[in-house]
Structure 1
Amino acid sequence: MTDHDQDNPLDRTPPHDLAAEHAVLGSLLLSPHVIDRVTSTVDAAAFYKPAHQTIYTAITDLYGRSRTPKIDPITVAEELGRNGDLAKVGGAVYLHQLVAAVPSTAHADHYAEIVRDKALLRTVIETANRAAARAYTQQADAGEILDDAMAEFQGAATGASPLEVKLSVGDRWAGFLDELEAGKDPRALDTPWHDLNDVVELKPGQLVTVGAATGGGKSLFGMNLAAHIALTRGRPVLVASMEMGGSELMARLTAAEAGVDLDRLVRRKLTDHDWAKVIKVSDRLQNAHNFILDDSPNLTLSKIRARLRWMAANGHPAAMVVADYLQLMTPEGTGSNANRAQEVATISRGLKLTAMEFEIPVIALAQFNRNAAGRQPTVTDFKDSSAIEQDSNVIVLMHRPPEPNPDDPETKNLPDRTGEIDLIVAKNRNGINGRIIPLVFQGHYGRLQSMSRGF
């Protein structure tokens, strides 16, 4: 074998520690009292040897099925025998050998940490190898390969251990009482529009879809909401924009925050008075390092997840995501025969799963079909897919009321609502449906404003 062959990482044995795996399993067989501590550190997949994965699963299954579990080599051998796995793992003799291999059950946590660390090293190697294989075969562009690999690396680095999530009623009860006493869910986010807050809360794990016609104000809604959470509430926010570039996003943000005419900002024709307003908000925006505007081309779900993990790894885990807008996202993982409706459905479901995975609200802006123009919209008006209605926890439809026209019999008697826009809460899984909330549409300032008080 040449030196080159010896250095080939594909010929190396993946990191593992069989002695630590023996000690972990032996500790579980000797003392059921350590099972809770060990299972909070490792799961079955962390074991290198398949037989050890099978034994670990049998132990935890036995432990989980009984209120007074009896865990020892005999009961575990019986469990493995029922499943047809006893001979595959080396028989009952091997279980007794595991018990004999335990130096001390008092160190079970340490043995489990060793097993977990070796599993993480294998994950690093597997992720790098997958990325290398995709790069050699040029299965995707370099940016997508890097984004996917980064997402996997950061997922391994920040992933929660199996029992860090509290699931039982007993675990949840104290926190629920605190919420009742506080009068609100402390994890929920508010919006800059107090009338909307009376109806809708933005909660972790929710997909909130905001729909509008072309030019109907959905991007203003998204940027105003993101700015409120990032700048007023001081929480990290990701805006993933497929609609506008970074310069246009910054212009809209500055117009809304400074109260400067958006058209003059876009055309770089500011007056001295405008500059004075911009300078007043300069420090606030210059220090907004937790407000991330991602205008990368061809944004996909994997790229958004990679960006979220990047934010978490840098100490700023996102409190909310705004995706502008859903139908412009690049689909991934759909077959060559998939139609556009199927692609949009996949994206919608992926955004919902992202909200649940990162335990944050995801605000998905979406566009209506053209036939929704000129009338009050409904949830069936979303372009390309009806799956949006199914996946969303909350749906807000934006509608510009028609202006009265004395020459039109249908509109001549309508009230004059020039400069207003309605937010229609068409779906609200945890609250009131059908509420219509009017706002002031200040497109020249790039913002929406509550009717009864300032922005």
Structure 2
Amino acid sequence: MQPVTPFPSRKDAAAEALRVPPHSLEAEQAVLGGLMLDNSTWDQIADRLDESDFYRGDHRLIFRAIRRLSETGKPFDLLTLAEWLEDNNQLQDAGGFAYLGVLVRDTLSAANVRAYGDIIRERAIRRDLIRIATEVADSAYDPKGRDCKQLLDDAEKSVFAIAEQGMRAQQGFSNMKELLARTVERIDILFHHDNPITGIPTGWPDFDDRTAG
């Protein structure tokens, strides 16, 4: 007979509420400062990071501004970035010109931007897992008419969505010609294959349908 797991006490719940979600302030600052120091490092993380991966709101604003400037082919050094934020009424929310200057001043090199970006992404995934776990627990307490199978299916979809997003940091950029060649080859295999599951079945039908095993 398995021991009964006790419900968390109010003290435990209060302590849990005070826990700071996973993040790395230093990595976020190093990435933003590194990008301003060397705009060419943008190509190393453009497809690996999203503004939502940043924990702090001001850092999200700064990263979004960098992306916008990059998309228009403009530089994003201290002055141009501050000007863009000012023109869009976001400079103060992003910490002001002084904070942008601190990011540049305290970043010694842009050499490790990609590695710091991976740290940011890893922390973001952990925050997503915490969020999903909380939602799953809340659903178990209050299923709102869903049976256990539906609750499990919803939890599975949420976890798989995080896993798919996590692949972004692992894959990075792919050569376009190689990507197109693999895509065409994949389509040809699926077209001539009677069974849509061409890989190894995982046992989760929804996931197998999306990934072909």
TM category, shorter: 0.7 to 0.9
For the aligned residues, what is the CA RMSD? Answer: 3.3
Alpha-carbon spacing, 1:20–1:291, altered in 2? closer, same or farther (3 Å): closer
Identity fraction in percent? 28
Given that 2:33 and 2:106 are in contact with CA atoms closer than 8 Å, whether structure 1 keeps it comes out as yes
1:317-356, Cα deviation, whole Å (9 max, x unpaired):
416xxxxxxxxxxxxxxxxxxxxxxxxxxxxxxxxxxxxx
1:126 is the counterpart of 2:92: no
* Cα shift at 1:105: 1.1
* Cα shift at 1:87: 1.0
Given that 1:189 and 1:229 are in contact with CA atoms closer than 8 Å, whether structure 2 keeps it comes out as no
The list of structure 1 runs, each at least 4 consecutive aligned residues, that deviate by more than 4 angstroms after superposition, is: 162-166, 172-176
Instruction: Indicate the residue corresponding to 1:188 in structure 2.
Output: 187
Instruction: Indicate the residue corresponding to 1:213 in structure 2.
Output: none
After TM superposition, list the pairs within 5 Å mapping 1:237-316 onto structure 2: 290=201, 307-309=205-207, 311=208
* Cα shift at 1:134: 1.5
After TM superposition, list the pairs within 5 Å mapping 1:21-60 onto structure 2: 21-60=28-67
* Cα shift at 1:18: 0.8
Q: Which residue among 97, 100, 104 is the counterpart of 1:95? A: 100
Instruction: Indicate the residue corresponding to 1:235 in structure 2.
Output: 198
Larger Rg: 1
Q: Which residue among 73, 85, 100 is the counterpart of 2:78? A: 73
Write the letter of the residue equivalent to 1:145.
Answer: L
Where in structure 2 are there 5+ consecutive unaligned residues?
1-8
Given that 1:46 and 1:119 are in contact with CA atoms closer than 8 Å, whether structure 2 keeps it comes out as yes
Number of residue pairs aligned between Structure 1 and Structure 2: 202
* Larger RCO (CA under 8 A, 6+ residues apart): 2
* Cα shift at 1:21: 0.5
* Cα shift at 1:101: 2.3
* Cα shift at 1:41: 2.1
Given that 2:45 and 2:172 are in contact with CA atoms closer than 8 Å, whether structure 1 keeps it comes out as no
Quick one: distance in 2 between partners of 1:161 and 1:39? 10
Alpha-carbon spacing, 1:29–1:136, altered in 2? closer, same or farther (3 Å): same
Q: TM-score, normalised by structure 1?
A: 0.40
After TM superposition, list the pairs within 5 Å mapping 1:346-361 onto structure 2: none
1:114 is the counterpart of 2:81: no
* Cα shift at 1:291: 9.2
Quick one: distance in 2 between partners of 1:23 and 1:165? 21
Quick one: distance in 2 between partners of 1:174 and 1:111? 26
Write the letter of the residue equivalent to 2:212.
Answer: A
Quick one: distance in 1 between partners of 2:130 and 2:40? 34
Instruction: Indicate the residue corresponding to 1:434 in structure 2.
Output: none
Quick one: distance in 2 between partners of 1:92 and 1:82? 13
More helix by share: 2
Bigger shift: residues 78-87 or 143-152: 143-152
* Cα shift at 1:11: 3.0
Instruction: Indicate the residue corresponding to 2:16 in structure 1.
Output: 9
* Cα shift at 1:172: 4.6
Write the letter of the residue equivalent to 1:41.
Answer: R
